[in-house]
Amino acid sequence: MVREKLTQQDSLTDRELNDFIAGALLDLPVDDKKVLVIIPDSTRTAPLPLFYELLHTNLGERVKKLNYLIALGTHQPMPEEAIDRLLGRTKGTVPRYDVFNHKWDDPGQLKDIGIITKDEIEKFSGGLFGEDVVVRINKLIYEYDHLLLLAPTFPHEVVGFSGGNKYFFPGISGPEVLNFFHWLGAVITNKEIIGTKYTPVRAVIDKAASMIDIPRTCFSMVVKGHGVKGIFAGTPEDAYSAAADLSAREHIRYVEKPFKAVLSRAPEMYEDVWTAGKCMYKLEPVVDDGGKLIIYAPHITEVSYTHGKVLDEIGYHIRDYFLKQMAKFGHIPRGVLAHSTHVKGGGTFDDGREQPRVDVILATGIPEARCKKINLGYMDPDSINIEDWKNREDEGILYVEKAGEILYRLKNEDSSR
């Protein structure tokens, strides 16, 4: 059963959200129990300060312990001051509950909980892959009696839609599942997966999450602007399903025809190309063959704070560039290969010649020489006048102010996915 609250307005009021949270938590057997809340980092839009306060109000006196774990995946750990901003703790009106960063590459922080077998992987992937995948997760969760997932749902390039069990895998997982399912999504391709509710990658994630033997409840929200359009509480699977349906209505924009040029402006919450790549993922479906997409982000000066050296080595390439040369790239984590192909987009690789479908250009603080080294185009961000790009859709030119969360699709594509 899913408990839900939606509004016909742009967003629910704080009072409506408090009443919903209070009602949903009232039914949970968490009195005198230890509760861990798993939340996204600052690369996801969500009113976490409000929920931090609401959970304190409704759980602070009921539970034995209330702490937080940031589902970073492979993102960089957040320093204390950034966590304070994320949760609105600078106001000092709520106790400073402990907040932990997940570290995906620290074996001492991880626990083996099972294996997804080769036969299962073959079934989930439609025969694309056949291998055992070790499932490891942050062992901190086993110090708690109940897990709460609190996170937004948006169209997602690897899974279809974010939310639900994705905040376990890859949110607080080890590298094995993380690398495997990112590459599975990349092989299927962003255009096929993004905005699709159930995908082979989602099946892998749900299977991995089924191995967690701790009670868990998911609060999946659908954000509109800076408010919450709808919120759903239930199992991670059921809450995700309902939120994905609403996200499909709120976060997908349909256009009549593709654009020859797109200026995709990255918000400040994306601090490197690794995260700002979403400005390509969400717009790739509406860039015309041979068109160009510019990621405009003067504030970005790094390719990836986690994987920059590896990306300097391999660069950005289409999927088949790697698939047809896997022996050459076997030492590279498949999650990094996946990111590379997602940013570069579709295309062909025949007779040693790579032909991307879209020309991806960085207008960032990354120097031209490095852009060339990683096989992406370069444009001086100071040469771009934003006003010149606005309101030119009829000319085949699109400007997106806050790119990375809204998916753009062509109207003639199948929208029933």
DSSP letter for 173, please: B
Helix or strand holding residue 341 (H, E): helix 334-344
How far is the CA of 400 from the CAs of 156, 261, 361, 395, in angstroms? 18, 11, 15, 15
**Residue 292 carries which side chain, given as an amino acid letter?**
K
CB 163 within 8 A of CB 71: no
Question: pLDDT truncated to tens, each residue of the chain (417 aa)?
Answer: 899 999 998 899 999 999 999 999 998 999 999 999 999 998 888 999 999 999 999 999 999 999 999 999 988 899 999 999 999 988 777 889 999 999 999 999 999 999 999 999 999 999 999 999 999 999 999 999 999 999 999 999 999 999 999 999 999 999 999 999 999 999 999 999 999 999 999 999 999 999 999 999 999 999 998 899 999 999 999 999 999 999 999 999 999 999 999 999 999 999 999 999 999 999 999 999 999 999 999 999 999 999 999 999 999 999 999 999 999 999 999 999 999 999 999 999 999 999 999 999 999 999 999 999 999 999 999 999 999 999 999 999 999 999 999 999 999 875 444
How far is the CA of 125 from the CAs of 10, 99, 275, 336, 384, in angstroms? 38, 36, 26, 20, 43
What is the C-alpha separation between 68 and 165, in angstroms, rounded? Answer: 16
Residue spans of the domains in the chain: they are 3-250, 254-410
What is the C-alpha separation between 194 and 10, in angstroms, rounded? Answer: 24
Number of C-beta neighbours around residue 251 at 10 A: 22
> Helix (H) and strand (E) counts for the chain?
14, 20
Which CATH architecture fits 254-410?
Alpha-Beta Complex (3.90)
* Residues constituting the chain: 417
What is the C-alpha separation between 178 and 333, in angstroms, rounded? Answer: 10
pTM for the model stands at 0.93
What is the C-alpha separation between 277 and 216, in angstroms, rounded? Answer: 31
Residue 114 has a pLDDT of 97
- φ, ψ of residue 289 to 5 degrees: the values are -55, 130
Q: Is the dihedral of CA 335, 340, 343, 344 positive or negative?
A: negative
CATH number belonging to the domain at 3-250, selected among 3.40.50.11440, 3.60.15.10, 2.60.320.10, 1.10.3720.10: 3.40.50.11440
CB 396 within 8 A of CB 336: no
Task: Quote the tokens at residue 154.
Answer: 């948006």
Cis peptide before 175 (omega within 30 of 0): no
